[in-house]
C-alpha cells in the first residue's frame, strides 16, 4: 500500500458516505506531505447528539495498520444508520504517512517515531524529527472527541483502555495501557492542551476479526450505555457559552497595560480597553492608568521615537483619538496625528515611507489604522492620498484572491493575509462614501475575503499557510478575518450570507481563549521569510500573547455590537 492508495481510498469513501465526511489534513510532515484525515460533519458541531469518535491508524507507518484503518472506515459505512445515527466517526487513518512512503516504519523518514513520545512539550510546530506528534496532539485535543480509538494490526485480538474501570472498557474487557508515553495514554492523563482528558481505546486485531470487534464497540456505545462527553469537550462547551462581553472583559483585564515597548500589539489592546468602557460604561474604567501610561508621550518626558521607527511602532499609538474622546484632552489625538504625519509621499507608485518598499501586508493594517483615524479627526485629504494609493498599488493580490506576504515573498502566510484584510477593513471604515477609491478597494477586499473563506477549516479556523492543507490552525488570521466580517456586516459591505462563516470563526476563537486570556497557536513575531518551510515551521504561541489578545479584543467588541449587545 502506498500513500496514493490511501488517498484514493479516502476519496472513494467520502463519495460513498453521502455527505457526512469531508477530506481534510491534520498536519504536515518534514517532507511537506499533508497528513490525511476524514472529518465527520459533526466533528465540531456543539449540539450534536452523536458521540464523537476519532479513529487513529497507521502511527507505525506500516501498510497493514493503514489497511486496517481503511477497513474500519468501510465497516462503519456498511453498519448503516443504526450506527451512523449514533456515532460521528472521524479518522486519521495513516498518522505516519512518511513512514509508509519511505519504507522506514516505524520511523517517519526524518529520524522520528510518531508512535511514542507523548505528550510533546514544545517545538510547535518546528520539530525537525517528530512534527507528527505536535500536529496530532493539538489537532486531536482541540477537536475534543469523546473517545479516541487506535487500531493496530496483530495476530491476536486485544483491547487496551486508558480507564479500565469505564463502562466501555469493562464491556470490551480492556486491559490498562502499559506504555504511558503513547498518544492515547497521554490524551487521557491530566488536562491535555489545558482542556481536559480524552478517553482512549486501542484495538489490536487481525484483519479477519476486525468486523466482529467493531460490532462489539458499536454495541458498547448503544443505549442503555451512557458514554459521557469527554472532559475536553465539556471545557470547550463552557468556553463557547461565554458572551462577547464576557470574553472582552477577560481580555481587557489581561492586555493593554504597557507601552514598553511601543508597538501595535500594545496599542491595539489599549484602544480595545477604551472601546470596551465606551460601549459598556459599567466595565472598569481604564482612564486613570492609561492617562498615566500616555503622559510621558504627550508631556515630552519620553524622548521622541527614533526617526527610523517603522509602521509597527507607529501603530502603538492607535489609541490616541480614543483616549482624547474619553478624557476631552486633545493632546492624545495630536499624538496620533503626529505619528500619521511621519508618513511622506514616496516615489511614483511606491509605498509611502516609513512603509516597507516591498508593500508588506503588515503595513496595510498599520497605515490604514493611523492614516484613516488622522483623516477622521482632521478631515485632511492628504492622509487618504497616502493611504488609498498604497492599497491600490501594492500588486501583491494574486489571481486566486490571496495576498503574498510582500512583493519579494510569494507565500500565502495566514497572518499576512489577515493584515491585508484588516487594512482594507480599516480603510473602508474611514473612507467617505463618495470617495473615488472606495469602490475598487471594496472589490479587492471582497474578493480577498471570499478566497480566505474557501480555506476555512471545519473548526472555524484558518491555517498558518492558507494554501497548504494541514498547516496549523492559526489564531490571529482567524481573528482578523472574523473582525472584518463582523464589521463589514455591520457597515453593509457583507450581507447575512456570511453569518454562518462568522459564527464558525467565532466558535473556533472562543474555544481557544481560556479563562485568563491565554490563547492557542498564534504565529509568533514573523518578518519576511525565505521559503515556504520557514512559514510552516514558524513557532506557535500557546498561552499569553499580546498580539493575539489585541486582535481578539477588537473582535469581541465587534461581535458584541453585531449581536446587538450595545
> Hey, where are the domains in the chain?
3-237, 244-562
- Mean pLDDT across 497-523: 98
Contact residues for 555 (Cβ-Cβ < 8 A; gap 6+)? 479, 482, 483, 486, 506, 509
Are the C-beta atoms of 30 and 133 separated by less than 8 Å? no
For the cut 80, the answer to whether the pLDDT of residue 141 exceeds it is yes
What's residue 164's pLDDT?
87
Beta bridge partners of residue 463, listed in sequence order: 473
**Is 244-562 in the same CATH topology as 3-237?**
no
Q: Residues 76-86, buried b or exposed e (16+ Cβ, 10 A)?
A: bbebeeebbee
In whole angstroms, give the CA distance from residue 404 to residue 465. Answer: 11
What pLDDT does residue 419 have? 98
- Which class does domain 244-562 fall in? mainly alpha
Average pLDDT, integer, range 426-455: 98
Q: What is the per-residue pLDDT for 307?
A: 86
Give residue-wise pLDDT tens across range 46-96.
989 999 999 999 999 999 999 999 999 999 999 999 999 999 999 999 999
Contacts (Cβ under 8 Å, ≥6 apart) of 143: 43, 44, 52, 54, 90, 459
pTM for this one? Answer: 0.97
How many Å apart are CA 249 and CA 459, to the nearest integer? 24
- 519 and 551 Cβ atoms separated by less than 8 Å: no
- At 302, is the pLDDT very low, low, confident or very high (cuts 50, 70, 90)? confident
Q: Is the pLDDT of residue 225 over 90?
A: no
Could you read off the pLDDT of 100-122 as tens digits, one per residue? 999 999 999 999 999 999 999 99
* % of the chain with per-residue pLDDT over 70: 100
Place 284 in a pLDDT band, splitting at 50, 70 and 90: very high
Quote the CA–CA distance of 465 and 121 in Å, as a whole number: 23
Residue 23 has pLDDT above 90, yes or no: yes
Architecture of the 3-237 domain? 3-Layer(aba) Sandwich (3.40)
* Residue 476 confidence (pLDDT): 98
Residues 6+ apart with CB under 8 A from 539: 124, 125, 126, 523, 524
Band of pLDDT at residue 226, cut at 50, 70 and 90: confident
Q: Per-residue pLDDT for 565 more than 70?
A: no
Of the pLDDT bands very low, low, confident and very high (cuts 50, 70, 90), residue 326 is: very high
- pLDDT value for 303: 78
Cell of 251: 481580555
Amino acid at each position: 500500500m502506498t500513500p496514493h492508495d490511501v488517498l484514493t481510498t479516502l476519496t472513494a469513501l467520502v463519495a460513498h458516505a453521502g455527505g457526512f465526511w469531508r477530506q481534510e489534513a491534520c498536519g504536515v510532515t518534514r517532507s511537506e506531505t499533508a497528513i490525511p484525515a476524514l472529518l465527520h460533519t459533526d466533528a465540531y458541531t456543539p449540539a450534536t447528539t452523536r458521540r464523537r469518535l476519532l479513529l487513529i491508524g497507521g502511527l507505525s507507518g506500516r501498510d497493514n495498520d493503514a489497511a486496517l484503518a481503511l477497513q474500519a472506515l468501510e465497516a462503519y459505512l456498511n453498519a448503516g444508520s443504526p450506527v451512523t445515527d449514533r456515532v460521528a466517526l472521524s479518522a486519521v487513518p495513516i498518522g505516519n504517512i512518511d513512514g509508509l512512503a519511505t519504507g522506514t516504519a516505524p520511523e517517519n523518514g526524518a529520524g522520528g517515531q510518531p508512535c511514542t513520545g507523548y505528550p510533546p512539550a514544545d517545538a510547535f510546530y518546528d520539530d525537525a524529527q517528530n512534527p507528527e506528534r505536535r500536529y496530532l496532539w493539538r489537532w486531536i485535543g482541540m477537536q475534543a472527541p469523546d473517545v479516541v480509538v487506535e487500531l493496530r494490526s496483530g495476530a491476536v485480538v486485544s483491547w487496551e483502555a486508558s480507564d479500565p474501570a469505564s463502562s466501555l472498557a469493562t464491556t470490551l474487557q480492556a486491559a490498562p495501557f502499559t506504555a504511558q508515553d503513547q498518544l492515547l495514554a497521554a490524551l487521557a492523563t491530566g488536562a491535555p492542551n489545558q482542556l481536559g482528558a480524552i478517553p482512549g481505546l486501542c484495538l489490536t486485531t487481525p484483519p479477519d476479526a476486525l468486523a466482529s470487534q467493531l460490532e462489539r464497540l458499536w454495541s458498547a456505545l448503544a443505549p442503555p450505555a451512557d458514554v459521557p462527553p469527554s472532559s475536553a469537550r465539556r471545557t470547550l462547551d463552557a468556553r463557547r457559552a461565554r458572551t462577547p462581553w464576557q470574553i472582552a472583559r477577560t481580555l481587557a483585564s489581561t492586555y493593554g497595560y504597557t507601552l514598553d515597548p511601543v508597538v501595535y500589539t500594545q496599542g491595539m489592546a489599549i484602544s480595545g480597553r477604551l472601546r470596551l468602557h465606551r460601549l459598556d460604561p459599567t466595565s472598569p474604567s481604564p482612564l486613570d492608568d492609561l492617562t498615566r501610561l500616555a503622559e510621558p508621550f504627550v508631556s515630552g518626558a519620553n524622548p521622541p521615537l527614533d526617526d527610523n521607527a517603522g509602521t509597527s511602532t507607529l501603530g502603538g499609538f492607535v489609541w490616541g483619538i480614543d483616549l482624547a474622546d474619553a478624557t476631552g484632552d486633545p493632546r492624545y489625538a495630536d499624538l496620533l496625528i503626529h505619528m500619521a504625519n511621519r508618513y511622506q509621499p514616496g516615489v511614483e507608485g511606491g509605498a509611502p515611507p516609513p512603509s516597507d518598499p516591498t508593500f508588506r501586508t503588515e503595513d496595510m493594517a498599520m497605515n490604514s489604522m493611523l492614516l484613516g483615524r488622522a483623516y477622521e479627526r482632521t478631515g485632511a485629504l492628504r492622509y487618504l492620498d497616502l493611504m488609498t494609493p498604497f492599497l491600490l498599488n501594492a500588486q501583491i493580490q494574486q489571481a486566486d484572491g490571496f495576498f503574498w506576504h510582500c512583493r519579494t515573498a510569494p507565500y500565502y502566510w495566514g497572518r499576512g493575509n489577515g493584515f491585508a484584510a484588516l487594512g482594507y477593513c480599516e480603510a473602508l471604515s474611514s473612507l467617505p462614501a463618495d470617495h473615488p477609491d472606495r469602490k475598487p478597494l471594496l472589490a479587492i477586499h471582497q474578493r480577498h475575503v471570499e478566497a480566505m473563506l474557501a480555506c476555512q477549516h471545519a473548526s472555524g479556523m484558518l491555517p498558518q499557510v492558507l494554501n497548504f492543507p494541514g498547516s496549523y490552525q492559526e489564531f490571529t488570521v482567524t481573528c482578523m478575518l472574523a473582525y472584518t466580517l463582523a464589521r463589514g456586516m455591520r457597515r453593509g459591505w457583507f450581507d447575512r450570507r456570511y453569518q454562518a462563516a462568522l459564527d464558525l470563526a467565532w466558535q473556533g476563537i472562543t474555544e481557544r481563549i481560556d479563562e485568563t486570556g491565554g490563547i492557542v497557536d498564534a504565529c509568533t513575531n514573523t518578518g519576511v521569510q525565505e521559503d515556504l518551510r520557514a512559514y510552516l515551521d514558524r513557532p506557535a504561541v500557546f498561552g499569553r500573547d499580546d498580539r493575539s489578545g489585541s486582535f481578539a479584543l477588537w473582535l469581541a467588541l465587534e461581535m458584541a455590537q453585531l449581536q446587538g449587545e450595545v
